[in-house]
Structure 1
Amino acid sequence: METRKLVSEFIGTLLLVLFAVGAAVLAAEYIGTLGIALAFGFTLLALAYALGPVSGCHVNPAVTLGMLLSKRIGVNTAVGYWIAQFLGGIAGAALLYLLAKQVPGLQTSEAFGSNGFADRSAVHINTGGAFIAEVLLTFLLVFVVLAVTHRSAKLTAGFGGLAIGISLAAIHLIGIPLTGTSVNPARSLGPALFAGGQALSQVWLFILAPLVGGALAAAVHAVVHGDDTADTADEPEPAAAAKA
C-alpha cells in the first residue's frame, strides 16, 4: 500500500474534523443548524475532488467497511485506512481544541462538537433511537458513496463528489437534532476524547452504529447494483470525482 494513500486518508479526516466539526464548535451561534450541515457537506465535497484520485477519499471507517465488504479493497488496505482515519480524527480534534482554547469563554468540556443521546440530545432521543438513527443515516451516506463510485455509474461520472457532499449535508439536517450526527466513527472519537465526561462514555454508540450502517449499505448495494468482484482487491476505489 502506498504511503501517500494513508497520508491522504489521515489529512482528509483531519480536515473534515477541523473544519466541519469546527463549524459546530466555533460558529454554531452564527450559522445555525443549516450552516453546520452545509459545512460538513461542502467540506466532504471539496475533499472528494481533492483526495479522491489519491485514496478514494473515504475519510470515514464506515465507508471503508462498505468498500471492504463490496470487495473493492482488501483487508490490508482497510486496516491501514482505519488507522489513518482514527489518527486523523484525533489530530483534527487536537488542532480544533487548541484553536477553541484561544476563544475566551468558549465551553469545550462535555461538548466540543461531540455526539450524544438522552440528555445530550437536543430532542432527548433514547439509546435505542440514537442507534437506529445512526444506522439509517450512515446507510444513506455509504449507499450513495458505493452507488456513485460503482463501475456502472456512467451517468454520475464527474459528479459523484457532488452527490456525496449533498447527501452528507442532508443527513446532518436530520441528524443534528437527534444525535449531533456522527455517521463517522473517526469524526466522533476525536472530539469525544477532548470533550471527556458523558461524551466519551457515549462514544461507543457512535463507533458501532455507523459500522452497522455501513455494512447494511454494502449488503443492499450488492443487491441493487450487483457485485464488485471485478475491482482490484487491494486498490482503493477512486472517488467518482476522479473518473471525470
Structure 2
Amino acid sequence: ALAVLKRIPGRVVPAYFVGQVVGAVLGGLTIWAIAERASTASALGRSWTGVGDTNFATNRWTGEFMGFWPMVIVEVVLTAILVLAVLSTTSAKHPSPGAIGLQLGTVLALIHLVAVPVDNGSVNPVRSMGMAVIAGGESLEQLWGFVAFPAVGALLGAALWSVIGDPPPDVDERAMSARASVRAAAARATASIQDAVDE
C-alpha cells in the first residue's frame, strides 16, 4: 500500500518483504524453542504436544474456524482497515505523532478480537508465513489465502486512502510550487507598483 501510494520507493519493497519473512520465521522458531523447552510443571509444558496446526498461532479456515468465505471477508476488510489506520497515522498532517503506537496498537487489538474466532487473525501475510513454515500441515496448505486476501485488502485500503486521504507527494509539491509562483509574481507586481508610485 505504501509503495502504491508512493510513500516509499517501489525498489525497496522486495527488501522489506524478505526482511519481514525472515523476521517472521525467526519469531516462529523462537516461539517453538520456548515451547519445546517449557517445564512440564508449567501450563504450557503440560499441554505442549509439539508443533501442529492447532497450537502454534497458525492461520486456517478449516477445523474449529468459520470457513473459507468468512476468512476472505475478514482478511480483506480488516487488512484494509489496518492499512487505512497506518496511512492516516503516518500522514504528514497527523496531529500527534507521539500517539501513533497507541493508536495502531489499539486498532490491531480490535482487529484481532474480531478475526481470531474466524481464522486466528492474520491481516499480514508474513505473520502467517512465519508460523505455517514451521507448523506445516493445513496451515501451510492454506497459506496462499492468507497471502492473497490480505494483499487484496492492502490494495483496497490504498485505493480508499487515495480518495479520502492526503494528496500524493508530487501533487502537494506542485501545488506548493504553484502557490510560491503566484506569491512571487504578486510580490513583483507590488514592487513594480510601489516603484511607479515612488517615481
Tell me the TM-score range normalised by the shorter chain.
0.7 to 0.9
Residue pair 1:70, 1:227 contacting (<8 A) in 2 also: no
Partner of 1:78: 13
C-alpha deviations, 1:154-179, integer Å up to 9, x for none?
Answer: x2332122111100000011111011
Partner of 1:141: 82
How has the CA–CA distance of structure 1 residues 196 and 120 changed in structure 2, closer, same or farther, with 3 Å as cutoff?
A: farther
Instruction: Say yes or no: does 1:173 pair with 2:108.
Output: no
| Shift in Å, 1:204 | 1.0
Counterparts of 2:96 and 2:76, CA distance in 1: 25
State which structure, 1 or 2, has the greater radius of gyration over its C-alpha atoms: 2
Which aligned pairs between 1:22-41 and structure 2 lie closer than 5 A? none
Q: Which runs of 4+ in 1 moved over 6 A?
A: none
Which aligned pairs between 1:138-217 and structure 2 lie closer than 5 A? 138-153=79-94, 155-217=95-157
Partner of 2:31: 96
Relative to the length of structure 1, the TM-score reads: 0.63
Provide the identity percentage.
32
Secondary structure (helix, strand or coil) at the match of 2:167 reads coil
Relative to the length of structure 2, the TM-score reads: 0.77
5+ long unaligned stretches in structure 2: 39-44, 172-199
* Greater RCO (CA < 8 Å, at least 6 residues apart): 1
* Count, aligned residues: 162
5+ long unaligned stretches in structure 1: 1-65, 232-244
Residue pair 2:75, 2:149 contacting (<8 A) in 1 also: yes
Counterparts of 1:184 and 1:160, CA distance in 2: 19
Counterparts of 1:163 and 1:193, CA distance in 2: 31
Partner of 2:177: none
| Shift in Å, 1:99 | 1.1
Letter in 1 for 2:48: L
C-alpha deviations, 1:45-69, integer Å up to 9, x for none?
Answer: xxxxxxxxxxxxxxxxxxxxx1111
| Shift in Å, 1:120 | 4.2
| Shift in Å, 1:148 | 1.0
Letter in 2 for 1:118: T
| Shift in Å, 1:109 | 1.4
